[in-house]
Amino acid sequence: MAGMTIKGFKKRSRRPMSLGDRMFEYGNFIFLTLLMVVTLYPFLNTLAVSLNNANDSIRGGIYLLPRIWTIENYKYVLGEATIFHATMISILRTVIGTVLTVFCSAMVAYTVSRQEFVLRKFVTIAFILTMYINGGLIPNFLLIRDLGLIDSFWVYIFPGLIGVFNLIIIRSFIEGLPESILESARIDGAGEYRNFFSIVLPLSTPVLATVALFSGVYQWNQWFDVFLYNSSNVELSTLQYELQKILQNSNASMTSKSASDGFANVGQQGSGVTPFSIRATMTIVASLPIIMVYPFLQKYFVKGMMVGGVKG
Amino acid sequence: MAMLGEADLTPAARARPLARPNYHASRKERDRMEKHAAGLASGTVPSKPPSGIKSFLIKLGRQHPLIVMSVPFLIWLFIFKYVPLWGWTIAFQKYKPALGFWDQEWVGLQHFRFLFEDERFLRVLRNTLAMSGINLVLGFATAITLALLLNELRQVAFKRLVQTVSYLPHFISWVVAAGIIQTTLSPDGIINELLMKAGWIKEEILFLGIPEYFWSIFGAGTVWKDVGWNTIVYLAAMTMIDPAQYEAAEMDGAGRFKRMWHVTLPGIKPVIVVLLIMNIGYLMESGFEPQYLLGNGMNVDFSENLDIFVLKYGIAQSNFSLSIAAGMFKTIVSFILLFAANNIAKRLGEARLY
């Protein structure tokens, strides 16, 4: 063990490790470190490009650190009216969508967790069946059109209000709460509403945090419903959709030699930014909120996945 | 009444506060309950309460808060998830949007027959199955391997770090991920640069422009995005393995790999089996976003899958009938696969999806 030089290695096993074991530890450590590098490098590279002088980035050779530091790209992206507005819509749909999803899912989950509820089976099956059968893209599109939800903000909220997976993990959690708490509250005269609002909701914080994370990530990352229903209305565009449009542009000009050349048609010469740098900057803006939140909710969503993945 | 509370242990009987029923129960209800209690005493009534429409309505009335909390969402569910199924009728019509339902011309299975003679549809079907197959095999192999490696780590802090980092790509959108993949694979991207420096290639490769490469790119991209996330379930299952098993194996002289092979893997076998079966049920779902976002005119023959086919026919060309027929085919096959998978899992005695 004394030969171990890698920081953080501690002696845990009771007996000395064999040579093979030690080789394995080293190999494993190196492999997993490499895995982290492969995972993180693209983000760090994008971050470096977003903080580098736009015209300088085109020369290439930016890896982990900017060559000429600047916040010009961020100033431009956040100052651009369309992108700023789209960011606001993204925030709005994330907040409203998440709050409503968590609240409504918890409410339904509470009712189906009450063993005595006469419609328990019916509600559960009605929801679970939708996991197996769905109308598909076009029938859904026709429904949204007939409901008059096209060109409206609420098309982001209503169709996905309650997810079956969320419902299942909240229900499992509520069913795991000690029955005696609800029982004693009931004896004290608390009705279903009070039980739900003042006992079940506060006690379910861990699972609700998980669902909030899933729902928030979904809402923030969603671009397809914007594309499908609101693509003609720039007022309702979201950050991800704006980014997708830029991406599609550069994809169309894939045949050009480099990723940065592809933007020639939309280049803003003289303004100190290029589409290449704008894309990098928007990528960072579009992923930063999530990157900052998820590590803190890790222990919650890991539990949620265990319940949802294994138990169902 | 207290006796009833103890004797009748069916969930339904725990419904309302049986501890104090006499204060609140209506006269009728009290009669019913007394009758019920009498029946119980003489052993003639099954432990289930009488299940007439009347008693159902009484219960419904008593549980009105629960009704208020769930029925609005049932209506929501009906409108948004069940009404669209009605749209499937369009697959059997020569649909003209201007006409009402009864004025449409019915054509039977014509659209389905057309689909299976359409070369493009068959190619799309091949791509769908190929990509979901790649996803399945590669997804399982990599996630289980990574979980095994993480499980062998003794440094808790390092393990936590690797886990947190590996979850990251799962949370970012496919738009961002596709952008990253595009940049990485572009002619002046890092992959080409590394390959050039290593001297393996002489000039840059336009990875996304070569159709045959698309499946590999898709597979690698999906693994990059989800491998960390997919380890969660396996790691959870590994914590359930009794440490005594490892100790016993160690006593018997089993080395690290032998312990992984003979203790850890068999320990998580049930989870692997369930997930594998469930994933077979999702064979028709190869995803939509990666193919749509990474696909381009050059690799379309390998990137276009069923969902994109439906989108292109339906939204872009407004050929609703054909598009719905394709979507319907997908849903029905998925349904059969899922149902079969669930039943197989049940028969094997493993946990099920529901």
- pLDDT one-digit tens code per residue, A148-201: 999 999 999 999 999 999 999 999 999 988 888 888 888 888 888 988 999 999
Looking at residue A166, its pLDDT comes to 92
Cross-chain residue pair A259–B186, CB shorter than 8 Å: yes
Looking at residue A161, its pLDDT comes to 94
The residue whose two tokens read 């898709």 is B218
- pLDDT one-digit tens code per residue, B126-167: 999 999 999 999 999 999 999 999 999 988 999 999 999 999
The residue with greater pLDDT, B8 or A135, is A135
Confidence of residue A286 (pLDDT cuts 50, 70, 90): very high
Domain of residue B230, CATH code = 1.10.3720.10
- Chain B contacts of A283, Cβ < 8 Å? 176, 179-180
Looking at residue A10, its pLDDT comes to 43
- Residue B86 counted as domain residue: no
How high does pLDDT run on average in chain A? 85
Shared domain for B30 and B136, answered yes or no, is: no
- Residue B279 counted as domain residue: yes
Looking at residue A266, its pLDDT comes to 45
Q: Which domain holds residue B45?
A: 2-62
**Cα–Cα–Cα angle for A215, A216, A222, rounded to 5 degrees:** 85
**3-class secondary structure per residue, A218-242:** HHHHCCHHHHHHCCCCHHHCCHHHH
B110-149 residues touching A, CB cutoff 8 A? 146, 149
Distances (CA, A) of B331 to A238, B26, B112, B122, B337: 30, 49, 14, 16, 10
Residue pair A51/A70 in contact (Cβ under 8 Å)? The answer is yes
The residue whose two tokens read 């679970």 is A128
State the Cα–Cα distance between residues B291 and B300, nearest whole angstrom: 9
Which residue type occupies A229?
Y
- pLDDT one-digit tens code per residue, B268-326: 988 888 888 888 888 888 889 999 999 988 899 999 999 999 999 888 888 899 999 99
Domain end position, chosen among B47, B62, B77 = B62
Looking at residue B9, its pLDDT comes to 36
Count the Cβ atoms, other than its own, within 10 Å of residue A11. 11
Work out how many domains chain B is built from and give that number: 2
Q: How far apart are the first and last CA of chain B?
A: 36
Looking at residue A146, its pLDDT comes to 92
Nearest to A83 by CA among A307, A224, A239: A239
Confidence of residue B49 (pLDDT cuts 50, 70, 90): low
Tokens of A74: 């961020």
The residue with greater pLDDT, A60 or B351, is A60
- pLDDT one-digit tens code per residue, A192-207: 898 899 999 999 999 9
Identify the architecture of domain A81-234+291-311 in CATH: Orthogonal Bundle (1.10)
Per-residue DSSP letters for B294-316?
H--TTTHHHH--HHHHHHIIIII
Nearest to B344 by CA among B271, B273, B272, B268: B273
Looking at residue B315, its pLDDT comes to 86
Looking at residue A9, its pLDDT comes to 43
Query: Is some CB atom of chain B closer than 8 A to the CB atom of A292?
Result: no
Domain end position, chosen among B25, B43, B62 = B62
Looking at residue A14, its pLDDT comes to 52
A267-271, B2-6, B197-201: range with highest mean pLDDT: B197-201
- Residue B107 counted as domain residue: no
State the Cα–Cα distance between residues A3 and A6, nearest whole angstrom: 9
Confidence check: pLDDT of A56 > 90? no
Confidence of residue A3 (pLDDT cuts 50, 70, 90): very low
Looking at residue A145, its pLDDT comes to 93
State the Cα–Cα distance between residues A275 and A268, nearest whole angstrom: 8
Cross-chain residue pair A221–B224, CB shorter than 8 Å: no
- Residue B262 counted as domain residue: yes
Confidence of residue B58 (pLDDT cuts 50, 70, 90): confident
The answer to whether the predicted template modeling score (pTM) of the entire model surpasses 0.95 is no
Per-residue DSSP letters for B173-188?
-HHHHHHHHHHHHSTT
Q: How far apart are the first and last CA of chain A?
A: 44
Domain ranges of chain A: 81-234+291-311
Query: Taking residues B169-185, what's their average pLDDT?
Result: 94
Cross-chain residue pair B74–A158, CB shorter than 8 Å: no
- pLDDT one-digit tens code per residue, A79-137: 889 999 999 999 999 999 999 999 999 999 999 999 889 999 999 999 999 988 888 89
- Residue B136 counted as domain residue: yes
Cross-chain residue pair A42–B184, CB shorter than 8 Å: yes
Confidence of residue B55 (pLDDT cuts 50, 70, 90): confident
Confidence of residue B101 (pLDDT cuts 50, 70, 90): confident
Cross-chain residue pair B76–A247, CB shorter than 8 Å: no
Looking at residue A252, its pLDDT comes to 60
Residue pair B50/B32 in contact (Cβ under 8 Å)? The answer is yes
Tokens of A98: 């998440």
Question: From the candidates A19, A29, A138, which should be mutated to test the interface with B, based on the most B CB atoms within 10 A?
Answer: A138
- Residue B120 counted as domain residue: yes
Shared domain for B54 and B129, answered yes or no, is: no
Nearest to B328 by CA among A159, A137, A125: A137
For chain A, percent helix, then strand, then coil, each to nearest 5? 70, 0, 30
State the Cα–Cα distance between residues B138 and A30, nearest whole angstrom: 22
Confidence check: pLDDT of A8 > 50? no
- Residue B94 counted as domain residue: no
Lowest-pLDDT range, A255-259, B50-54, B276-280? Answer: A255-259
B106 strand-pairing partners: B93
B242-271 residues touching A, CB cutoff 8 A? 255-257, 271
Shared domain for B28 and B159, answered yes or no, is: no
- Chain B contacts of A149, Cβ < 8 Å? none
Query: Taking residues A231-242, what's their average pLDDT?
Result: 92
Looking at residue B77, its pLDDT comes to 96
**Cα–Cα–Cα angle for B19, B25, B26, rounded to 5 degrees:** 170
| Cβ-based contacts under 8 A for chains A and B | 290
This model of the complex carries an ipTM of 0.86
**Out of B189, B233, B331, closest to residue A310 by CB:** B233
Confidence of residue B63 (pLDDT cuts 50, 70, 90): confident
Q: In Å, how far is A271's CA from the nearest CA of chain B?
A: 23
Query: Taking residues B71-96, what's their average pLDDT?
Result: 93
Shared domain for B141 and B231, answered yes or no, is: yes
Shared domain for B58 and B145, answered yes or no, is: no
